[in-house]
A = this chain, B = another copy of it.
Amino acid sequence: MAVTLEDLANECNVSMSTASRSIAGSYGISDETRLRVLAAATRLGYRPNRIARGLATGRSHTLGLVLSDIRNPFMTELARGAEDAAYAAGYDMVLCNSDLDPEKQVRYVRTLMEKRVGGIVMNSVGTLSREQQEEIVRHGIPVVLLSRQRQGLPFSSVTADNFAGGLLAGKHLITLGHRVIAHLTGPRQHDNLRERLRGFLKAVERVREEVAPVVIYGDHSSQGGYAMAKTALKKHRDVTAIFAANDAIAFGVMRAIHEQDLRIPQDISLIGFDNVEMAGLTQPPLTTVHQPKYEMGKAAVEMLLKLAEGSDWRVPEHLLFGVELIERESCQSPKKTLKESITTKKALLALAGHDRSPSPAE
């Protein structure tokens, strides 16, 4: 049905190899024949069959991306960076939503391996058993872990500096003068969240005698954030600031705070983590720790491609991206007097030091 290379060769009275070379643009073909073949190709509407080519060359020019759920805006950004890098290199990217379900995860990885993809960017290894991970290693397919790390396996990784981020957030709140700070986070086993917590605690440590950190574990989603905030606000009435372990949690917190008829930042300061797009659009705009999500996704497939195309076996690389505090309008110093309970935006901005103009004292 479809026109094949052989048809094309016949049409031009050349051998298949000549036709093949002309299409591929390889060396050793006279301009004249190449052009003739190319012309015939468009005339006949020839489309190379990449799967045949893949069988012959052993490379599918496809990559796999497995993550828990593309609907998470954080992942979405990673995915976009990854896809762009793949596209730039002439690769396609198959998307796999594992939902952290071990069975789906395994099935996806198997399929990818069976399709002989050039490599896999993986965001969710946690649920893979040791044995399964070793199966992957044995198979020899390049893998890079994205926003995730794993000890003891020869997988490369690209991550953000979660510890530094936690430290940054903690410091910011402390510098602002907060002394009773709640940190709302997710499951204890979650490596990234654990690092953020560690960073936060480190910040607190420096002023150990005056600061009371309260750590609440829950679901790292907006629902979880809502629930955790409710308990935090009830149990710890003296809390003046909340550090949410990610922006989704922070959104839930905002809702809870508003429901209590409290104001952000006048009554409670709030800081998030990730800097997803929506963080700039809430009321008030959320101060948060920025992770270079797009760049991380991009870097992950670039690293993967190096592994996939480099013939030699290399030791795993680990790329660590820096993070950055994005100051918006959800934090201010805790109010001590009624007077400091400022409501006009202008005054708030001035207080938060948002004014970018050169300070007169400098």
Could you tell me which A residues sit within 8 Å of B by CB distance? 1, 45, 47-52, 54-55, 60, 62, 65, 69-71, 73, 76-77, 79-80, 83-84, 87, 92-97, 104, 110-116, 135, 138-140, 222, 251-252, 254-255, 258-259, 277-278, 281-283, 285, 345
Contacts and interface: CB of A to CB of B under 8 A. Distances in A.
Q: Is the interface of A mostly helix, strand, loop or mixed?
A: helix
A115 B95 contact: no
Contacts of A96: 83, 87, 92
A70 B97 contact: no
Nearest to A56: B55
A111 B255 contact: no
B60 A83 contact: no
Given A92-B94, A93-B95, A95-B95, A114 B49 contact: yes
A76 B87 CA distance: 19
A47 B77 CA distance: 33
13 contacts: A45-B138, A47-B114, A50-B115, A51-B54, A51-B115, A71-B73, A83-B97, A87-B104, A92-B94, A94-B95, A222-B281, A255-B285, A282-B282
Contact of A111 (B45, B50, B115): B50
B94 A94 contact: yes
Contacts of A77: 71
A232 to B, nearest CB: 18
Given A69-B80, A70-B80, A71-B80, A94 B283 contact: no
Give this chain's copy count: 2
Contact of A55 (B51, B97, B139): B51
Given A49-B114, A65-B95, A255-B281, 10 more contacts: A1-B140, A47-B113, A47-B139, A49-B55, A51-B115, A70-B70, A70-B79, A83-B95, A251-B281, A278-B278
B47 A110 contact: yes
A224 B277 CA distance: 15
A96 B95 CA distance: 10
Nearest to A225: B281
A112 B62 CA distance: 11
Contacts of A283: 254-255, 258, 282-283
A254 B281 contact: yes
Contacts of A116: 49-51
B70 A73 contact: no
A225 to B, nearest CB: 9
A120 to B, nearest CB: 12
A70 B62 contact: no
A305 to B, nearest CB: 16
Nearest to A264: B283
A242 B15 CA distance: 67
A50 B111 CA distance: 8
Contacts of A92: 94, 96, 111-112, 115
